[in-house]
Structure 1
Amino acid sequence: MTATNGPLREILERAHRVPDLAHFPGVDEINQRLDDLTEQHPDLVTRRRIGTSRLGDPITMYSIGDGPEQALVYAGVHPNEPIGFWTAIRLAEDLCADASFRAGCRWHIIGNIDPDGTRLNEGWFDGPFNRVHYTANFYRPAPQEQVEWTFPFQYKDAYFDRVLPETLALMQVIDEVKPTIAVSLHNTELGGVYYYVSRELTGFVDELHAIAASFDLPLDLGEPETPVVEPYGPAVYEMISSKAVYDYVEALGMPTPNDSGSSSSAYAARHGTVSLVAELPYWTHPSIDDQTPTESPYQQVLAAAADELESNLRTLDEIFRAARPYLSDDSQLVRGVAAFLPYLLKRPERERRRAAEIDPERRATVAEVFGLGDINRSFRLRYGGMLLRSLDGEIARGSASAALYPPAKRLRAVYAEWQAEARSLDEQLHTVPIKHLVGVQYAATLALLAAVRREAP
């Protein structure tokens, strides 16, 4: 464990007590564990239904602690990111077990804000934990169906008010609780640890670095998730802003986004809330934090990656266009593919325009070369897997048109090649123990509250 002093040391000691975990909990297990805790501690836990999912699952919040500070923690905003399910459960368990821990702050915990989407990911929650199995059972909602990005948004020519029932439930909680801190529990896929914070806090970047180091996890020092964010320090960024994304795309002279809204962090900011996202990977690779310059100009690496991504996406788009007339309109998987392919197909041209503005003498680092290549690998595995599930699901119903079989056959062959390439990389990857992922996310959550307290008047 990294040598630290004071409150952070106590936080890390608590985070390192997370037990071994061999799977990720699905919807029913999350509910059962938190409900059991409520039954065991009726004097400590207040359970309240705050909403209903689009497919009829209840959404429940569990409140524990004394206040006056208010903390809001919510998992499942992206249902393919289940580390936060365990973080929410562990936080609730520790609050019930330790009176001194829950003193001074009332914690409001939403164990799963998107049960519908989570159920479509449960096929990989029990492992095996490799990328082939993961992406073959992967589901990510269309942007306009993601809880995290369907808060009301109006900026320049952009307007979004198609708030989901799940998002409305979270909005109402935010307005009621007016949290001191809000932690949206996300995670990434392959890479290192990185964070988003809604504002700078004295000493917090160093603490976030120390948390990752204490679990022997590298920081992600390669290509950031989006070029619009400003770094507060290595692998620590300002929160992604829909306004910044709009301005960035507009400046490139490309069509501005209008298919999703603002984030939970932006919405909570009206109450002075400080928000955090801790992004943790299932797998790491030796190149993730390697800042060694390569012989390759960054401009060329970025442009080549854009070309490869476009080729992959065009293949998926051709298959989807051939299959689309024969696919069910009510499928979440189909809606996801239909939304993501046009959205992602804009990315290569954005990257090429960005590349044109980069100093041609700047050399790409090892981390950047690996990161750009792996973004492409991730996209084709994820959305190729979703499309294949859409086609196979329609065929499995027993009423598919004969015209659906040729595109399905083509996709199986293409996707098998992509899976084989991913499988060849497996021996280079390190699968991070789930308890370490939960530990980092848990420690970062507690460190945020401590940092905000330090700056309180």
Structure 2
Amino acid sequence: MRTPLHPVYPAVDELERRARALVAAAPRVLRLRPAGESRSGHPLWLLSAGHGDRQILTVAGAHANEPVGGTSVLRLATLFAHRPEMLERLGCTWHFLLCLDPDGARLAHGWTPEEPQPSLEECHRAFYRPAFARQPESLPAPDEPRAPLPESRALVRLLDELRPVAQFTLHGIEVGAAFMMATREVPGAADAFRGTAARLRIPLDRHPCDGPDWRLDAPGVLLLPDDRGGGERDPSGFVAESTWLYPRRYGTLTVLVETPAWCVPAMSDARPAGAPDREIARVGDVLLGHTRELAEALGDRTAADVPDDLMPLYDAARELVEVAPSIVRSWAAEEPSAHQGHFATLGISARRIPLRAAAMMRRALARTRPDTAAVLGDLVREWCQELQKSYDLRWVPVSAQTGLHVRTMLDTARLVCAAGG
């Protein structure tokens, strides 16, 4: 495959190089400094724009499998370099953390899609998403023995330093639909997000699986209930503190923006679902059936078969297999949804979880157990084809992916600053 001159998803070193080029071209507007280090000693680069009194922070690269955030950061920083009056009107300094998890991003890098017809299978050849406890936006719960990751500590220090009026965290799912999560309601922000998604032809996830304790403002928006504490519960049951919620002590609004690489229009379907209980059972059977098939393919392969440098892949894949039953139970325990879009969301999740696990396990075993890795590669191919046949997947141009991020940040920032945030 031909490699583009400027990859649409820049790797970590390319993000730094392009940020330095922006600073060199607009030194009165932009500046770059390290805000901490990763577990492996790689710097966490902070690109800052403007000189206003209000502080805004954007976090990219929190999840290794979501490189679009870095592209969105470069797009908005470039806009500010050419139009600094935008920052002056907001009265703010806008900070961009280029990549919160550079170690994970390095392990995941390898897929550079070529538009207009990128390959879902190719995407999963380099797939990596860390286990829950290795995700930097996840802080230890009060009763958890683990220490915060260096990346988490760096982000918390930055939040303490800046006390921003808004924190944006940019995410990008490989297959799904768009949604937004906000730690408080900002009048007009949800409608602006929905309007941008409509103009960019990106379907909304009417009822996202994320944030099971959050309040749904359909379609496509989750709001943090007023009585929520600092804990964050994953659908699998994993509970942690969160850097999303940490800066509420400073009055900070946190907004998460999720944009898909391949979108699924069915996730926006508002038509009534015929038999919710039967649909819940069906998607649960898909998830458990695929994880059983994966376990059979692995046989007696254990961590002893995995090279040390690839253990994060093995651990993350094993965790996904282990939490599958609890995810199915959580779906069954929910109040059945009344619309078909929700079951499309669950159906995508039921197929995405084992696909991710198979993709990571294939990489983990490729050197030492090529026979098993080949079988897992067949599963990855088969499950990618199943996703494409079961749902009308449509590639979202990278310009639209980043457009949803950038437009949502600018619209929300204007509303927050206008309200005196």
Classify 1:376/1:353 alpha carbon distance in 2 versus 1 (closer, same or farther; 3 Å).
same
Task: Name the counterpart of 2:100.
Answer: 113
What amino acid does structure 2 have at the position aligned with 1:123? G
What's the offset of the Cα at 1:419? Answer: 3.4
Match of 2:38 among 45, 53, 67: 53
| 2:280 matches 1:293 | no
Work out the CA distance in 1 between the residues paired with 2:105 and 2:160: 25
Report how far residue 196 of structure 1 moved. 0.3
In 1: Cα distance, 2:49 partner to 2:243 partner: 22
CA contact (8 A) 1:198 1:275 kept: yes
1:430 pairs, out of 382, 394, 412, with 394
Change (3 A) 1:162 1:239: farther
Structure-2 separation of matches of 1:193 and 1:415: 24
User: Could you say what secondary structure the match of 2:265 adopts?
Assistant: coil
Aligned residue identity for 1:384 = A
**Farther off after superposition, 174-183 or 224-233:** 224-233
CA distance in 1, matches of 2:140, 2:377: 39
1:257 and 2:222 are equivalent in the alignment: no
1:321–1:23 Cα change, 3 Å: same
Confirm or deny: 8 A CA contact 2:207 2:216 kept in the other structure: no
* 8 Å CA contact retained: 1:194, 1:279: yes
Deviation per CA, 1:271-319: give whole Å up to 9, x if none: 1110111111112233221212243x11111122112211222333454
CA displacement at 1:395 relative to structure 2: 4.0
Distance verdict in 2 for CA 1:170–1:95, change over 3 Å: same
Counterpart in the other structure of 1:454:
418
Tell me, in whole angstroms, the C-alpha distance in 2 between the residues paired with 1:56 and 1:329. 18
Q: Please tell me whether the aligned partners of residues 8 and 112 of structure 2 are also in contact (alpha carbons under 8 angstroms).
A: yes
Amino acid at match of 1:392: A
2:112 counterpart residue number? 125
User: Which residue matches 2:290?
Assistant: 312
Amino acid corresponding to residue 329 of structure 2 in structure 1: E
Partner of 1:76, secondary structure, is: coil
Question: What amino acid is the match of 2:244?
Answer: S
Q: Say yes or no: does 1:370 pair with 2:347.
A: no
Query: Is this contact kept in 1: 2:166–2:253, CA < 8 A?
Result: yes
Cα deviation for residue 205 of structure 1 reads 1.7
Residues 203 and 387 of structure 1, relative CA distance in 2, 3 Å threshold: same
Which position in structure 1 is the counterpart of 2:313? 333
Cα distance, 1:38 vs structure 2: 1.6
Q: Residue 62 of structure 1 contacts residue 110 of structure 1 at CA under 8 Å; is this kept in 2? A: yes
Matched, 1:44 2:32: no
Q: Report the counterpart of residue 145 of structure 1 in structure 2.
A: 134
For 1:312-364, what per-residue CA distance to the aligned partner results, in whole angstroms no more than 9, with x for missing partners? 2233345456111322344221222233322333212332333xx64xxx7x5
Q: 2:349 is matched by which residue type in structure 1?
A: I
Which letter maps to 1:433?
A: P
Q: Quick check: 1:26–1:125 contact (8 Å CA) kept in 2?
A: no
Residue 16 (structure 2) aligned to one of 31, 40, 43: 31
Amino acid across the alignment from 1:209 = R
Measure how far apart 1:227 and its partner are.
3.1
Unpaired runs of at least 5, structure 1: 1-20, 250-255, 397-404
Show the 5 A alignment for 1:154-233: 154=142, 158-159=143-144, 161-222=146-207, 224-233=209-218
Question: Relative to 1, partners in 2 of residues 1:169 and 1:451: Cα closer, same or farther, differing over 3 Å?
Answer: same
CA distance in 1, matches of 2:24, 2:56: 22
Structure 1 position 245 matched with structure 2 position 224: no
Q: SS of the counterpart of 2:13?
A: helix
Cα distance in 2 for residues equivalent to 1:87 and 1:415: 29
Q: Residue by residue, what CA displacement relative to the aligned partner does 1:193-250 show, whole Å, maximum 9, x if unpaired?
A: 210011011222211211212222222225533432212342110259763638x98x
1:177–1:312: structure 2 CA closer, same or farther, 3 Å change rule?
A: same
* Farther-moved stretch of structure 1 (235-244 vs 50-59): 235-244
Q: CA deviation at 1:412?
A: 4.0
Pairwise CA RMSD = 2.5
1:351 — aligned with what?
Answer: 331
Amino acid at match of 2:191: D
Sort the Cα spacing of 1:319 and 1:24 in 2 relative to 1 into closer, same or farther, 3 A.
same
Deviation at 1:421, TM superposition (A): 2.2
Q: Which residue does 1:81 correspond to in 2?
A: 66
User: Counterparts of 1:146 and 1:313 in 2: how far apart (Å)?
Assistant: 23
Task: Provide the rounded CA distance (Å) in 1 between the counterparts of 2:211 and 2:167.
Answer: 22
Residue number in structure 1 paired with 2:3:
none
Is the Cα–Cα contact under 8 Å of residues 329 and 335 in structure 1 kept in the other structure? no
The question of whether the paired residues in 2 share the 8 Å contact of 1:205 and 1:233 is answered with no
> 1:192, 1:132 → 2: CA distance?
19
Distance of aligned partners of 1:225 and 1:107 in 2 relative to their CA distance in 1, 3 Å threshold: same
In structure 2, the CA distance between the partners of 1:201 and 1:419, relative to structure 1 (3 Å rule), is closer
Identity %: 28
2-structure distance, mates of 1:224, 1:320: 28
Matched, 1:411 2:411: no
TM-score normalised by length of structure 2: 0.88
Q: Distance in 1 between matches of 2:222 and 2:412?
A: 14
Match of 2:404 among 430, 436, 440: 440
Per the alignment, in what secondary structure is the counterpart of residue 56 of structure 2? strand
TM-score w.r.t. the length of structure 1 is: 0.82
Contact 2:10/2:71 (CA < 8 Å) preserved in 1? yes
- CA deviation after TM superposition for structure 1 residue 444, in Å: 0.7
Aligned to 1:342: 322
How many residues align? The count is 407
What's the CA shift string for 1:24-52, capped at 9, x where partnerless?
11112111100111222333322211222
Indicate if the aligned counterparts of 2:180 and 2:255 stay in contact, CA closer than 8 A. yes
C-alpha separation between the residues in 2 aligned to 1:410 and 1:216?
37
The match for 1:11 is none
The aligned counterpart of 1:13 is none
Partner of 2:364: 390
Of structures 1 and 2, the larger Rg is shown by: 1
SS at match of 1:188: strand
1:187 is displaced (CA, Å) by: 1.7
SS in 2 for 1:173: helix
- 1:456 Cα deviation (Å)? 2.2
Amino acid at match of 2:238: P
